A and B are shown apart, each in its own frame.
Chain A
Amino acid sequence: DGGITQSPKYLFRKEGQNVTLSCEQNLNHDAMYWYRQDPGQGLRLIYYSQIVNDFQKGDIAEGYSVSREKKESFPLTVTSAQKNPTAFYLCASGNGQDQNIQYFGAGTRLSVL
């Protein structure tokens, strides 16, 4: 089965703690994205990567970090500098070319303890 897998589905963070959200895809897509979704707001882009070993900040990158060491994987770390991390986090991938339909994982819901 081809698709995008995010884990965990639910995650709790303590004050001052860094947490890492996993995103893996087996669609052979070059581009991967991380979005944050808050109630009543659209998806906001955190980071994106168009190719292995390269990534760019999105609109709300502060307090987050990413890596892209493998084509299949694009983990997101929510650092202690992110003061309002409670949200639904969505990972997506796309072929990075014309149309560039983005396909989404099932999401990780992060809450603060």
Chain B
Amino acid sequence: GQNIDQPTEMTATEGAIVQINCTYQTSGFNGLFWYQQHAGEAPTFLSYNVLDGLEEKGRFSSFLSRSKGYSYLLLKELQMKDSASYLCAAPSYNTDKLIFGTGTRLQVFP
């Protein structure tokens, strides 16, 4: 079976760093995605990890450990506009379907 778990909600302060965790159980592995979704809008692609380690893209970084079935999204120098839901997703084995977690709603306070 396939399962993706992430926290439902998180809060943080402007300028701080926040780490959003995601654990996954998939039969086979073909990468892990992170998307950002502002309320009422489309999800937008943030990152894709297929190898272990940290990938940095400006203020956002994504980490993957395949042996632990674990990923995190790291957001630095938080801004108010980072308040959004962050969706973790993994491809269903041997298909191009994506399985999504329920999303983590991040609220950034001044």
Contacts and interface: CB of A to CB of B under 8 A. Distances in A.
B42 A99 contact: no
Interface stretch (A14-22, A67-75, A102-110): A102-110
Interface of B: 4, 8, 31, 33, 40-45, 48, 50, 87, 89, 91, 96-98, 100-103
Interface of A: 31, 33, 35, 40-45, 48, 50, 58, 88, 90, 94, 96-97, 99-107, 109
B102 A42 contact: yes
A91 B26 CA distance: 24
A104 B96 contact: no
A33 B97 CA distance: 9
A31 B96 contact: yes
B43 to A, nearest CB: 5
A106 B42 contact: yes
Contacts of B89: 43
Tell me the interface secondary structure of chain B in the complex.
Answer: loop
A30 to B, nearest CB: 9
Given A31-B96, A41-B102, A58-B97, A104 B44 contact: yes
B50 to A, nearest CB: 8
Contact of B48 (A99, A103, A106): A99
A102 B42 contact: no
Contacts, number: 52
A89 to B, nearest CB: 11
Given A41-B102, A42-B87, A103 B96 contact: no
Given A101-B45, A103-B45, 20 more contacts: A33-B97, A35-B100, A42-B103, A43-B87, A43-B98, A43-B100, A48-B97, A58-B97, A88-B40, A90-B43, A97-B96, A99-B48, A99-B50, A100-B96, A101-B33, A101-B48, A104-B44, A106-B42, A107-B40, A107-B42
Given A90-B43, A105-B42, A107-B40, A42 B33 contact: no
